[in-house]
Structures are given as C-alpha cells and as structure tokens.
Amino acid sequence: MRRALHFVFKVGDRNKTATFYRDVLGMKVLRHEEFDEGCKATCNGPYDAKWSKTMVGFGPEDEHFVAELTYNYGVAEYQLGNDFLGLTLQSSKAVSNAKRLGWPLTQVKDGLYLTQAPGGYPFYLVDQEQPHKDPVQKVCLGVSDLSRSTHFWSALLGMTVIERSDEKKTVLLGFGDTGCKLELHNIIGTVDHGTAFGRIAFSCPRDQLTDLEAMMKKESQKILTPLVSLDTPGKATVEVVILADPDGHEICFVGDEAFRELSTVDPKGKELLEKAMADDKSNEWFAKHNRQKAAA
C-alpha cells in the first residue's frame, strides 16, 4: 500500500519557521537531523554544504502527513514560484492561535482562512475542531495541463481520482480513503518552481521501487535520481527514487519498511532543533563581515 508522507519546504529562518509550525499550527517536532554535506538525492536542493532537516507534524509519521523543513546554513531566502498552491488543514485551534499571536490571517470564506508560513508558503486553515485523525487534508500543486497530469498521477503512479471540478479546474487524488490527498489545479501558463521548489514524498513497499523506476523509463518519464540509498547518522538507511511529473514537480518514493524505522519519533527532536538554532551563528558571522546571506 502506498501512502503520502510529507512535503519538503526550504526555509531561510528556522526560528520564525519553528514559531509558525509549533505555536501557530500546533505541530510538534518529530525529529531533527544535521548533515555536513548535501544530500545525494538533493533533499536540501542543489546545495553541497551544511544543512538540517526537521520533521514537524500533528503526530507520528506512520499515521500523519508532516512537513519536512530543510535549512541550508548559507541561504537566507528562496524565490517562490506558482508550483505550490497551498496545504489545507483542519484546526480551529490554529485559527485562534494565529489571532492570539497576531499572525496574519485572511478570511477566504466562512470557516476558511489563508495564512502564510515564513517564506510565503500558503496554508489554508479550516476553522473546525481538529479531528482525531490527521488534520492535514490536502496539498495543492499547480499544473499546466490538468488532463495530462491526472493521467500521470493516476495511470502511472496509481493514485485514485476522488473528485473532479470543471468549474474550479481541479482534480483530487489519493492513495486510499484515508491520509492526505493531492489536489491538482490547472493554472494559466507554465509552472514556475522558483528556487523554493519543494518535493512531495510517498512510501511504497521496497520491492516496488525497482518496478516503479523501470516503468518510468519505459514511459519515457523523467527520473531525477535513480534508486539510491540515503544514510542518516545513527538511523536507518532508506532507499529512494526521485521522479518528476510533466510540470517538473519533484516526487520522492521511499521504501516503506526502512522509512518506518527511520521516521520513529525522536523524544529529543525538539531539544536537538533548539540546540541547533542556538548554535547557529551564521547570521552573526554575515553581520560581522558586513555581508548578507545568499538568496537562492
């Protein structure tokens, strides 16, 4: 069984980002990892330097769709494109948190608010009591040809079409009835990924990875990273294949068995993140040398 895992966001300010996900949305730090060099599967983007990964969510990754926050120590900001159109979650608590903390909110319609994570990423908050299951409902991506993209995600990747709207020019897909869904929204013009381009991740049984890669080759689809093993210090090694859809959205498929071991909640995750933020002197270094951090 395949399942949706997380979306990767590049962040330029870990402190403000932590405030948004923890204090506004109400998510928890599930694990935090530091790396001295770039990822072989470009998890942190096209950067070969020190970076970190922080997984945040409403509960364990086995049962929740979470956010992967990647931070490159030398990069302060990223340029948004029109590729990521929003993440929708249900939590009246998040709405009240935003109002209490003065975090900007725009009412889209009755019971639905739009806010932004640091960096400009749009989040839609449904003003209803947080469900016992995962509050994250869907991730929306912009596509230039809805019919072509629907074929890719359903016929090739095996997602089920749940709902279509000709009026909104959207298609909602998912792996099974539960878990976070993927919404494709037809936009006018080409999809621009900017430098903030993200990545959506799914898991599948390990033995499906080679078949998936072979099928992509047969269908002449783009493979960004052929099957590769990724090491995390002190944790399980996972195998991944990185694909791209017709509009260049990055898609990671990871072997489920090893990923479940890797993604176990680390009770020290919050402590590790706070230590990393306290030890990060990159802003002071750039200020001392009268320089600005790079913009990607």
DSSP 25-90: S--EEEEEEEESS--TT-TT-S--S-EEEEEEESS-TTTS-EEEEEEETTEEE----SSEEEEEEE
The two three-digit tokens of residue 225, written as one number? 């990273």
Number of domains in the chain: 1
pLDDT per 10-residue tile (average), the chain, 296 residues: 96 96 98 93 91 97 97 93 98 98 97 98 97 94 98 97 96 93 97 97 96 97 96 90 98 96 96 95 69 66
Q: C-alpha angle 69/162/10, rounded to 5°?
A: 10
Quick one: pLDDT at residue 293?
66
Domain at 264, CATH number? 3.10.180.10
Domain encompassing residue 65? 3-295
Residue of 10, 39, 47 whose CA lies nearest to 228: 39
pLDDT digits (tens, 9 = 90+) for 118-150: 999 999 999 999 988 899 999 999 999 999 999
Quick one: pLDDT at residue 281?
80
Which are the contacts of 12, defined by CB distance < 8 A and separation ≥ 6? 71, 75, 76, 77, 78, 118, 119, 293
Quick one: pLDDT at residue 241?
97
